Amino acid sequence: MQDNQAFIGRQPILNAEQQIVAYELLFRHNANTDTNVIENDVRSCTQILVNTLNDMGTQWLLGDKQAFININGEVLMGEFIELLPAKRIVLELMPGLTVDEALIQRIAELRGKGFGVSLATIEDQGLLSLLPHADYIKLNIAKLGLDKTLALFGKLQGRSIKVIAENVESRHDFDACKKTGFKLFQGFYFAHPETLTAKVIHPAYAVVLEILNMVSRKAEIKEIELAFKHDVALSFKLLRYINSVGFGLSSEIQSIRHAITILGYDQLYRWLTLLMVTAGENSAPPALMKTAITRGRLTELLGAGYLSKKEREDLFIVGVFSLLDAMLEMPMDQALDKLNLPEAVTEALLQHTGVYGPFLQLAEACEGADVDKIRTLADSLIMDPELVNKCHIEALSWTEGLGI
């Protein structure tokens, strides 16, 4: 892997309804897994940042969201930062800055150009003095403890600065912060939710599960058609999907049977998989939904050149369904009991093993830019780390293109 490349990770920042409003972008260099890439070689690493966001465009990575990016004093005062798309970027100032008049003037200048400014911690006295000059501040629950976090939030009330609860690791943390008045949240709870007690599956979900099993066993089209007709909303979604611009059909499809025939079993199964994530009252929180879909696409792309087309379709299912326990709020084994999945898929989902397991593990490592694990897994698959990064970027772009 070349020195001018970095692994990319994203962690969502959400509002109280768990809708994604921004991402923190993680850039990790292969030479040092413990520090943010921008904190290594300032000049070369800032070039990585600029090239990633400008040369490739921000749409594939951010959609319509803002990006929080960690920077130190040298980057802040340098020229490279101004090459970034200002109105999309929030500069997150790291601890240890020397706060003087020059720094304050530079912050004012960058805010005037449209950049947002965020403070990484409230415990650094230098950063604390910048409160009047920042747009956001993060309160890190893991470092402060929940009680102190909530108390500090109260002291910040009345200021114009927006407060983000960071390192939200559990539902208890989220509920406590939300009740106290936090409006913005970040943490692994939203990407890797805890498994909750089993719940009754909504009828719409039950129909999707039923049809998934029909498609898996290649049931007669008339049988699948009848199942669709039991759910008017599902039938409407299928016809809307098949008549979308992407198919380029010369005439509108009005028959459920015709739509199923055109799609075929494999593409219909893939569409139903996505529907389980995005449709109905049981739809997952937006951050979880995007994580699952991106993971599915990334897992599929990682299998290109290694597995057959049908096996890559299975990889997509593995990636999306790897968060099925969180989506349905029940243990994974119980969720899988309702699905007639291939044995290799079930093995990957339950144990992260078998032919599909390493690809799923690699996709999960990419989400957090876990460089050591990425390189170890890539080596085990005889895969160039540069290809891994390319697949990740393509998966992020594909998910944003879905417009969900």
Lowest mean pLDDT among 78-82, 118-122, 150-154, 201-205: 201-205
Using the predicted structure, report yes or no on whether residue 30 has a pLDDT greater than 60.
Answer: no
pLDDT score at 236: 67
For 69, the 3-state DSSP assignment is strand
Q: How many CA atoms lie within 13 A of 46 on its CB side?
A: 17
Q: What are residue 148's phi and psi, to 5 degrees? A: -65, -35
> pLDDT higher for 360 or 401?
360
State which CATH number among 3.40.1790.10, 3.40.50.2000, 3.30.70.20, 1.10.3210.10 fits the domain covering 203-401: 1.10.3210.10
Q: What are residue 297's phi and psi, to 5 degrees? A: -65, -40
**Residue 18 and residue 39: Cα distance in Å, rounded?**
30
pLDDT score at 335: 77
Three-state SS string across the chain, please?
CCCCCCEEEEEEEEECCCCEEEEEEEEEECCECCCCHHHCCHHHHHHHHHHHHHHCCCHHHHCCCEEEEEECHHHHHCCHHHHCCHHHEEEEECCCCCCCHHHHHHHHHHHHCCCEEEECCCCCHHHHCCHHHCCEEEEEHHHHCHHHHHHHHHHHCCCCCEEEEECCCCHHHHHHHHHHCCCEEECHHHHCCCCCCCCCCCHHHHHHHHHHHHHHCCCCHHHHHHHHHCCHHHHHHHHHHHCCHHHCCCCCCCCHHHHHHHHHHHHHHHHHHHHHHHCCCCCCCHHHHHHHHHHHHHHHHHCCCCCCHHHHHHHHHHHHHCCHHHHHCCCHHHHHHCCCCCHHHHHHHHHCCCCCHHHHHHHHHHHCCCHHHHHHHHHHCCCCHHHHHHHHHHHHHHHHHCCC
* Per-chain mean pLDDT for the chain: 78
How is the chain split into domains, by residue range? 7-191, 203-401
Q: What is the pLDDT of residues 342-352, one digit of tens each?
A: 899 999 999 99
Homologous superfamily of domain range 7-191: EAL domain (3.20.20.450)
Residues 6+ apart with CB under 8 A from 73: 96, 97, 98, 103
Q: What is the pLDDT of residues 365-393, one digit of tens each?
A: 888 777 888 889 989 999 988 888 889 88
**Which two three-digit tokens encode residue 87?**
């109105």
First to last CA, the chain: 33
Most distant CA atoms of the chain, gap in Å: 74
Q: What is the pLDDT of residues 211-267, one digit of tens each?
A: 888 888 888 988 888 888 777 667 767 777 777 645 566 666 767 888 888 888 888
Using the predicted structure, report yes or no on whether residue 99 has a pLDDT greater than 50.
Answer: yes
Q: Are 92 and 120 in contact (CB under 8 A)?
A: yes
**Residue 62 and residue 43: Cα distance in Å, rounded?**
24
Lowest mean pLDDT among 64-73, 247-256, 266-275: 247-256
Using the predicted structure, report yes or no on whether residue 32 has a pLDDT greater than 70.
Answer: no
Q: Which amino acid is at 283?
A: S
